[in-house]
Amino acid sequence: MGNLGGIKLKNKISFTGSSLWAFVRQPEKYKGKEVGYSIQVALTEEQIAKIKQFFQERFEEDFGDKKCSGEISLPIKEQKDGTQAIKLRTSLGFTDKMTNEFKNRVIPVLDKYGVPLPPETLVGNGSLVTASGTYKLFYDNATKWGVRIYLDAVKVSELVTYDPYGLTFDEKPDGEEDEKGTVKQTNEADF
């Protein structure tokens, strides 16, 4: 838990690492449908072990009387290269109970000084980020229990700009561009 001027911030958590699949400006899509905003943060095996222990302890504090089988369910995604990343996500927005109007959610994306980045800035894979969120423990039954982590904000310490086309222009060794502007593919994943 955090503390802000005497106000306790319950269930707040943050993760620092390399960003993967950052859908913080544009919604993530699944089968053509917008499902929300999300980001994955690549972590070390040591960090993953600490996270598992932390949430296991929180779960035992809150649900110690519940029967559980298997390991705690965490939003950890293994990438094709074996890298493990924790995924924080949130909905596209909410319906205002007073007006019944849908309000779009905006994920704050800040630079290392806490200054908001321009809305057109897209966070690319490999950016050094701290993603903060709110976690919620759940218990559905003995085999379905764990934690969900909802994305609140992202701080970008080192930005790797996402290029939606995955293209960069080669330069001559002396720094001058070729007349043809030869094109090469970057390592960015195409959303």
Write out pLDDT tens, residues 92-140: 999 999 999 999 999 999 999 999 999 999 999 999 999 999 999 999 9
CATH of domain 2-160: 2.40.50.140
| Domain residue ranges in the chain | 2-160, 165-191
pLDDT value for 69: 85
Structure tokens at 134: 């709110």
* 50-91 residue pLDDT tens: 999 999 999 999 888 888 888 889 999 999 999 999 999 999
- Percent over 90 (pLDDT), the chain: 68
pLDDT at position 168: 43
Report pTM. Answer: 0.77
Listed in sequence order, the residues at least 6 apart from 95 whose beta carbon sits closer than 8 Å to its beta carbon are 101, 102, 103
- Chain CA centroid to CA 76, Å: 11
Question: In terms of DSSP bridges, do strands 12-30 and 128-141 run parallel, antiparallel, or are they unpaired?
Answer: antiparallel
Q: Residues 164-189: pLDDT tens digits?
A: 665 544 333 434 444 443 333 333 32
Instruction: Tell me the C-alpha distance between 86 and 76, whole Å.
Output: 4
The answer to whether 74 and 60 have CB atoms below 8 angstroms apart is no
